[in-house]
Amino acid sequence: MISKSKDRKKPISPPKFLALGFSAIIIAGTFLLELPLSSADGTRTPLIDAFFTAVSAISVTGLVVVDTGTHWSTFGQIVLLILFQLGGLGFMTSATWIALMLNRRISLRERMILQEAMGQYQIQGIVDLIRKVLVYAFTIEGIGAMLLAFRFWREMPFDEALYLGIFQSVSIFNNAGFDLLGSIHGPFAGFPVYGTDPYLNIVNIALIFLGGIGFIVMFDIMEYPKCRKLSLHSKVVLSMTGALIVIGAVMLFLLEFNHSAAMGHLSLPQKIMASIFQSITSRSGGISTIDIESLQQSSQFFLIMLMFIGAAPGSTGGGIKVTTFAILIGAVIAMIKGKRDVVLFRNRISQAVVYRSVTLTVLALIVLVGFSMFLAATEDSQFLAILFEAVSAFGTCGLSMGLTTDLSEIGKITVAILMFLGRLGPLTLAYALNRRGHKELYRHPEGRIIIG
């Protein structure tokens, strides 16, 4: 009886705490967005639409069932801004910042939760890391807001341009994918209307890139002039991110060069710029400068692969992460060469990390296959569009082939669950649902299975 009572008093594990925390914020966001005060016409937004939008915002995805610029009032838009700011930085990061502002001590348990939220291996220095995260995030968002505001000032009064700049800067840096351009150029207009604007393209690319590489990498880059050294994590993230951007841009450029519906009508510099932008944003940015639905099927499928890989750990992006992909490639190369260890930049990767990478990827594939099959049964659309939408939701990317606005109610709930799983991570969710494991006291005899 005593042991049972002790088990009941065990604290909630960090993964479970994060899952419950995000769920609580989604409920609060749904309640606020459903209020008549949140809609532009003063009517109550349907519960399912409010729920879907809240999940999309907190998971920093950007898939929408109603146009952000025309459907939501200023109050509703501010609620969305707060949600994807919390989702991008993490609600525990924001709560820690408030606690630090109030000179409150951060407990060991809270540090453990922060460690899980930031994907760190050690708890030491986690509070200092949070301080740097907030300073860097708000600085980058502030600079981005001013740069965007000066561009939008050409089309509207400065106060409106500043508001639009702040909203878009926070949204794009957090890889949220929400935009208010529907209020200027018509519902669901998005950034394709600025597809040939070099200034906006460069600013948005910089915001997406900085939000996608992760704060740890940013800190390493800032410290590089002093120590002349990058961590293994930063080397892997930067090299893999650079490779994916180049490969993605080249592939899209070649596939869409003469395709008039997408990029065929653009000049050569504009085609290069559009290819680079789509390559970067497809790994979690959520905004596009061309109509994704107009791309060829080969390009759309290629974007699906990029969305599945996603951004870097500890960033505002989703997907299985570029480091996981790098480890998988390293494992394949090691197996082909007959080597025992996975080696990246002359560093051996532990077997536990390799197993974790394989587990994460397999779980992600299982989730996507299952949910895509379910959506294929509930939605009347081509399977490629369904798969694209499912991967976009799970990778918290936000790119769409136009299916989201036509989803049935069961389809909206399904995609919302995918966005939640993608933001939390399938491995974290598995840990949250699993009971605390016990150390095995024995090992089974080794068996042999023929594969290949």
Which tens digits make up the pLDDT trace of 319-373? Answer: 888 999 999 999 999 999 888 889 899 899 988 889 888 988 998 999 999 999 9
Residue 63 has pLDDT above 70, yes or no: yes
Angstrom distance (rounded) from CA 284 to CA 174: 9
What angle is formed at CA 184 by the lines to CA 179 and CA 186, rounded to 5 degrees?
Answer: 85
The verdict on residue 249 lying in a domain is yes
Q: What tokens does 287 get?
A: 């905004």
How crowded is residue 271: how many other Cβ atoms within 10 Å of its Cβ? 18
Kindly indicate the confidence band of residue 128, based on its pLDDT and cuts at 50, 70 and 90. Answer: low
Q: pLDDT at residue 387 above 80?
A: yes
Residue 8 located in a structural domain: no
Q: What rounded mean pLDDT belongs to the chain?
A: 84
Q: pLDDT tens-digit profile of 143-154?
A: 999 999 999 999
Is 448 part of any domain? no
Instruction: Report the alpha-carbon distance of residue 286 to residue 306 in Å, rounded.
Output: 12
Q: Which domain holds residue 239?
A: 13-432
* Residue 46, domain member (yes or no): yes
137 or 49: which leads in pLDDT: 49
Angle at Cα 248 formed by Cα 244 and Cα 253, nearest 5°? 155
Residue 107 pLDDT: 57
What pLDDT was estimated at residue 426? Answer: 62
Q: Is residue 1 part of a domain?
A: no
Residue 348 lies in a domain: yes
Residue 432, pLDDT above cutoff 70 = no
User: Between residues 75 and 128, which one has the greater pLDDT?
Assistant: 75
Total domain count, the chain = 1
4 is a domain residue: no
Say what percent of the chain tops pLDDT 70.
Answer: 83
Percent of the chain with pLDDT over 90: 49
What is this structure's pTM? 0.87
CA distance 135 to 141: 10
280-304 as b/e: b if 16+ CB within 10 A:
bbbbbbbbbbbebebbeeebbebbb
Q: Determine, yes or no, domain membership for 441.
A: no
